[in-house]
Structure 1
Amino acid sequence: MRKLSYFIAGTIDGFIAAPDGTYDFFFPYVTGDFLPYLSDTFADTIPALGRTAMGLDGVPNKRYDTVLMGRATYEPGLALGMASPYPHLRQIVFSRSLTESPDPAVEVTAEDPLPVVRRLKQEDGLDIWLCGGGTLAGQLLPEIDELIIKLNPIVAGSGVPVFSADFALRAFDLVESRSFDNGTVVLTYAKSTLATGGELGADGMPLAPAS
């Protein structure tokens, strides 16, 4: 079965964007030895303009073939003329306010994200990349199999959190940690191997399986 992977840049204090939804303050950290790592391991997550600049046009997808995003994640690129930011991927935007797709390569849906993802997981293909934002990630938390955070060495103070959801503890296992010269650390977590699926009670203890 395909995995849902939430691969996102974040600050030390847990934000993925400024209060206005912009995230260009992460761009200066795509430097040094982190750049070749990103272009090799996560080339699928680089938008079309970046792929062209890095000589990645035509490179086959290795990790993901589908990208999911909320309207707030999609719109900054759209404002810059990128109606189809990831043409090498199947692009799905979840929005109740964006009624028509600006580009035929982008699917816009107002459907509940959970059943959509559950259907996608049953299809053949590579894994599914959730690229943001925090509200969509909060809605999809029960289906997130892998959490990969590019932890940048900055503090934002406020902004869009990694997850925007009601309080509910869920356990993940740290499976890899890599640090880079520019201070960025990439942390890879997998959904906990607890028999309960990783959901914890308010006391931090695993919830008992449903009978």
Structure 2
Amino acid sequence: MRKLSYLIATSIDGFIGDVDGEAEFFTKYVDEEFLAYGFAEMPEALPTFARRHFGIDDRPNRRYDTVLMGRGTYEVGLPQGLTSPYAHLKQYVVSRSIEKAPEPEVEVIAGDVAAKVRELKQQDGLDIWLCGGADLAGQLVDEIDELVIKTYPCFLGSGMPLAKAGFGIREFALEAVRSFGSGVVITTYGRE
């Protein structure tokens, strides 16, 4: 069965962006070592235009063949004309305000997203990448099978949390830790 994997960037204190969700400042910690790891281990986590830019567009998807993102995450690229940001993946946008995506390969989920995720998990294929954001992660917290948390060496003090979920102890087991010279640490947890 496929897993829902929440792959997300965060500060040391658990914020994925400023109060509006802007997170461009994390890119200052991306160095050659980190890029090489990403290209080798999860090339599908780069938007299609970035894959082309770095010359890795021909690399096969290793972990994910489907991406699930909230409206806010999807809309970040719209001003730049990125209407199909992950064309190399099956793309879903969760939104009650977008009736139809501007591209036919982007499907809008307006109903019960947890039910849709359970349906997707039953299908054949690679895992499902929960790309963001905090609201969607909060809605799907009980469906998340894996957390892949890229922690950047900065402390924000406030901002958008990792997930907007009600209090509840949800246990995960540590599966892997990978650190980089830039101070970035990728921690992988699996559902217990």
Q: TM-score, normalised by structure 1?
A: 0.89
Aligned to 1:100: 100
Separation in 2, partners of 1:115, 1:30: 36
User: 4+ residue stretches of structure 1 with deviation over 3 A?
Assistant: none
| 1:99 counterpart SS class | coil
Deviations 1:67-88 (A, max 9, x none): 0000011111112211110000
Which residue number corresponds to residue 200 of structure 1? none
Distance 1:170 1:43 in 2: 29
1:148 corresponds to which residue? 148
- 1:160 to partner: Cα distance: 1.2
**8 Å contact 1:12–1:151 — kept in the other structure?**
yes
- The equivalent residue for 1:163 is 163
C-alpha distance in 2 between matches for 1:114 and 1:151: 26
Partner AA of 2:97 in structure 1: S
Task: Map 1:57-206 onto structure 2 (within 5 A).
Answer: 57-192=57-192
Check whether the contact 1:68–1:130 (CA below 8 A) recurs between aligned residues: yes
Find the residue that maps to 2:140 and give its secondary structure.
Answer: helix
Aligned residues: 192
Aligned-partner Cα distance in 1 for 2:32–2:183: 10
User: Could you say if the C-alpha distance between residues 115 and 162 of structure 1 is closer, same or farther in structure 2, counting changes exceeding 3 Å?
Assistant: same
- The alignment yields a C-alpha RMSD, in angstroms, of 0.9
SS of corresponding position for 1:85: coil
Greater relative contact order (Cα 8 A, min sep 6): structure 1 or 2? 2
- What is the CA deviation profile of residues 48-96 of structure 1, one whole-angstrom value per residue up to 9, with x for unaligned ones? 1210111111221111000000001111111221111000000000000
After TM superposition, give the deviation of residue 135 of structure 1 in Å.
0.9
**Normalised by the size of structure 2, how large is the TM-score?**
0.97
Q: C-alpha offsets along residues 167-196 of structure 1, whole Å, 9 cap, x if unaligned?
A: 11101111111110100000000011xxxx
Distance of 1:190 and 1:45 partners within structure 2: 19
- What SS is found at the alignment partner of 2:35? helix
Distance 1:104 1:18 in 2: 31
> Who wins on radius of gyration, i.e. which is larger?
1
Counterpart residue number, 2:41: 41
Query: Which secondary structure does the structure 2 equivalent of 1:143 belong to?
Result: coil
* SS of 1:59 mapped into structure 2: coil
Deviation (angstroms), 1:130: 0.3
Asked if the contact 1:9–1:151 (Cα under 8 Å) also holds between the matched residues in 2, the reply is yes
Aligned counterparts of 1:155 and 1:75: Cα–Cα separation in 2: 26
Counterparts of 1:166 and 1:159, CA distance in 2:
17
More strand by proportion, 1 or 2? 2
Q: Give yes or no for contact 2:42–2:61 (8 Å, CA) kept in 1.
A: no
Task: Describe the SS at the equivalent of 1:51.
Answer: helix
Instruction: Mark the runs of 5 or more structure 2 residues left unpaired by the alignment.
Output: none
Given that residues 32 and 182 in structure 1 are in contact (C-alpha distance below 8 angstroms), is that contact kept between their aligned partners in structure 2?
Answer: no
Of stretches 84-93 and 21-30 in structure 1, the one that deviates more from structure 2 is: 21-30
